[in-house]
Structure 1
Amino acid sequence: MSVPTRVVHKRRATVTDLPLYYSGHLLKKLSKEKDFKKYYGELRGATLFLYKDDTQDTYTEKLDLEKLTSMELDSPYQRKAPTIFTLTLHTEVVQLKMDNSDTGEEWRGYILTVVKKKIPSKLQLLPGQMLLLQEALDQERKRKPPIARPPLPPRPSFLPSPSASPFRPLPKEKPSHNSPDIPACFYSVTRQEAEQMLEANPENGGIILRPSTLANNYALTLRQLTPSGPVMKNYRVASTNSGFVIELDTANKVELLQPPTKEEGEYVIPDDPSPDHNLRL
């Protein structure tokens, strides 16, 4: 005897403890797998729960979409052809396949909306579907309100103003480890030179601190390893009274300034303002 649908839904809500935004049949496979497997998917919060079918009350596996870095359409939409998306997460690459472009566009809309906390600018959905999507966004924002971006701290008085003479770089050799004011990862090189150095010498580390193109500022070049290969990222570093601020995307605090491995903050600010937790240049 099959379990009533409402009982299944209630059990799933209890198990996951997350609001349901969208659901439906889909196929999924990892990039290293050959064939797709059928699932019934539920997007609850920013997590995609996968069930063997729509009668199973406990999920078989789940995908944490908070770790989504990109969602790409494999080929242009075709009205009566299946749609395949490639989702790149921090630790794996997953492909999702939907029966048609309409269903695929709804999945894409909901996934990107809950992950980015905003509705994508270009969606091919009907007005009623957009209203439901807005309701899901409002609910997700209440569940996980965005972190307020802290204001950029004032420029320290001991530093010259931005209108002063341009930044004077150090010689193009590695600074002495005996110097207390200059970290060992600082090189007076350009962005292109820093990327070339990291690419050519991965065994020596993945981060270089360098002069910024903006006067009296610094920049950080990072070589980050991802499932699809190494990626170069560059960040501006601004001086403050309590240390240094790395400008990222949304607010995030860390105890001390370390190479950024996840773009989670507009400013990375030490929780402990003591000198031991400040990067000195």
Structure 2
Amino acid sequence: MAAAPANPRTGSLKAQLPPCYYEGYLEKRGAKEKVARRLWTCLCGNTLYFFNSSKDANYVEKLDLSGFVSLIDDPSRDRNLEAARLNLRMKDGEIKLTAPNLEARELWKGFLYSVVDLAVPTTLTLLPGQLHMLKEVVEKEKMRRKARASSRAPSSPLSLPLVGEIPACFRPVSRTEAEVLLERHPDCGNMLLRPGRDGSSLAVTTRQDLNGSVFRHYRVTQKQQGGYIIDVENPIPCPTLHDVINALVEKTAGTLQPFILEEPYEENITFVSSNDENGERTLHCAPTGPLSRAPSLPPKQGLTDELKQKLEKRRTSQE
């Protein structure tokens, strides 16, 4: 098999992507391309992301499957006799894909159909375990889309409705709070997305070191017809908020990185109690042993006898 179900992607831009359901090498040739390219391909959400190699953090192309029309086997022979070809037809053109072998092609078809139709395909030759994986992907993708449809910025005086998926580096904070966060956690990234001061736009705050902290703030406005614009001297249009972040990473050759703060979780259960004698309140750690279960109560005999009497009366009346 050419590839296996993947763990969530890691890296500067991969951390911004939707969950990865399947990945592996594919040869890709677009309608305007004369030569196919061998690219590491990741199915994240309902989008295909193409990387030059499996170790790269930055994708070179992406293909939104919302424009999917059909997926057809290509019977033409490849120079690699084991390889298996596919024709992926989109609303704006056709893309030729080549999988390493027939089994890999069937799996790619299974995962693609699953995220496009939100249903496990029944016409493919797959093993029970593979079908189970597809079922899990369908459920995950349904939940992802439901969460995306209802996603809004956390309620605060600075919040505003955001269209599409919200990048992980979004924080509902003010300009000053953004600067404090970036300075306090320099290892977590140096760029975050936040609501703008006027309440109708967004802003990106960045921090860099130059004989001390240097902060910059960039306005991001939402277009009425969809998408966003980074308001600089030469405005940069971006289809999504993820593209806003990616554009700033690319424009700075990776110097700017999204701020991803991993919130810590407690390892033990603690509680506050008061001393009956002096009223002093102290913090205690709850026991870590297994829970003791209370003995179950026996069934009420009265209810059982009453039920027997009712059944006996019913049986007598029917005779």
Higher helix share: 2
**Which structure is richer in relative contact order (CA contacts within 8 A, separation 6 or more)?**
1
User: Shorter-chain-normalised TM-score: which range?
Assistant: 0.3 to 0.5
TM-score (norm: length of structure 2): 0.41
